[in-house]
Structure 1
Amino acid sequence: MSYAAEKQVAIAAVRRACILTSSVFNNLVKNETLTKEDASPVTVGDFAAQAVVNTILGRAFPNDPIVGEEDAADLRGDAATALRTRIVELANATLTAKLEAGEKEEWGLGPSGQQTTEQLLNIIDKGKHEGKAERMWTLDPIDGTKGFLRGEQYAVCLSLIVKTEGRTRVQLGVIGCPNLPSDLSNPSSPRGGIFVAVRGEGAYELPLHDPFSAPGRRLSIPKLTTDNLNLLESVEKAHSKLSFNEVVAKELGITKPPTRMDSQAKYAALARGDGGVYLRMPTGTGYREKIWDHAPGSLLVEEAGGKVTDSRGEDLRFDLGRDLGENYGVIVAGEGVHSSVLDAVKRALAKEKQGQ
Structure 2
Amino acid sequence: MGQNHEQIYQRAQDWVREAGAMVKNFLENNEILHETKSHQADLVTVADRSVEKFLVELIQKHYPDHKLLGEEGMGENTKEFSGYVWLIDPIDGTANFVSQQADFVISVGLYLDQQGVFGIVYDVMRDEMIHALKGKGVFFNDKRIEKMDEQLALIDSMLSYEHSLRTEAQVKAGQKLLELYPRVRGIRSYGVTALSLARVAIGRVNGFITMGTNPWDHAAGAFLVQEAGGKVTDFDGNDLPLDRRSSVIACNPGIYDEILQFIRERKIHV
TM interval, shorter chain, is 0.7 to 0.9
Aligned to 1:197: 132
Distance 1:295 1:218, change over 3 A: same
Distance 1:309 1:13, change over 3 A: same
Whole-angstrom distance in 1 between the partners of 2:27 and 2:149:
34
Q: Deviations over 1:160-208 (max 9, x none)?
A: 1111xxxx212211111123xxxxxxxxxxx2211111221111111xx
2:89 maps to amino acid: D
Aligned to 2:256: 338
Aligned to 1:220: 147
Given the alignment of the two structures, is residue 349 of structure 1 paired with residue 264 of structure 2, yes or no? Answer: no
The Cα of 1:134 is off from its aligned counterpart by 1.7
1:298-313 superposed matches below 5 A? 298-313=222-237
Structure 2 unaligned residues grouped into runs of 5+: none
2:72 maps to amino acid: E
Whole-angstrom distance in 2 between the partners of 1:232 and 1:330:
11
Given the alignment of the two structures, is residue 261 of structure 1 paired with residue 190 of structure 2, yes or no? Answer: yes
Aligned 8 A contact 1:67 1:131 in 2 = no
The Cα of 1:237 is off from its aligned counterpart by 4.3
Whole-angstrom distance in 1 between the partners of 2:48 and 2:258:
38
Aligned to 1:21: 23
What SS class does the counterpart of residue 132 from structure 1 fall into?
coil
1:56-135 superposed matches below 5 A? 56-71=58-73, 124=74, 126-135=75-84
1:133 maps to amino acid: S
Distance 1:141 1:34, change over 3 A: closer
The Cα of 1:47 is off from its aligned counterpart by 0.9
2:266 maps to amino acid: A
TM-score by length of 1: 0.65
Q: CA RMSD in A?
A: 2.8
TM-score by length of 2: 0.84
- Report percent identity of matched pairs: 23
Distance 1:21 1:234, change over 3 A: farther
1:144-183 superposed matches below 5 A? 144-149=93-98, 150-163=100-113, 168-179=114-125
Whole-angstrom distance in 1 between the partners of 2:259 and 2:34:
41
What SS class does the counterpart of residue 63 from structure 1 fall into?
coil
Of Structure 1 and Structure 2, the greater strand share is in 2
Aligned to 1:245: 177
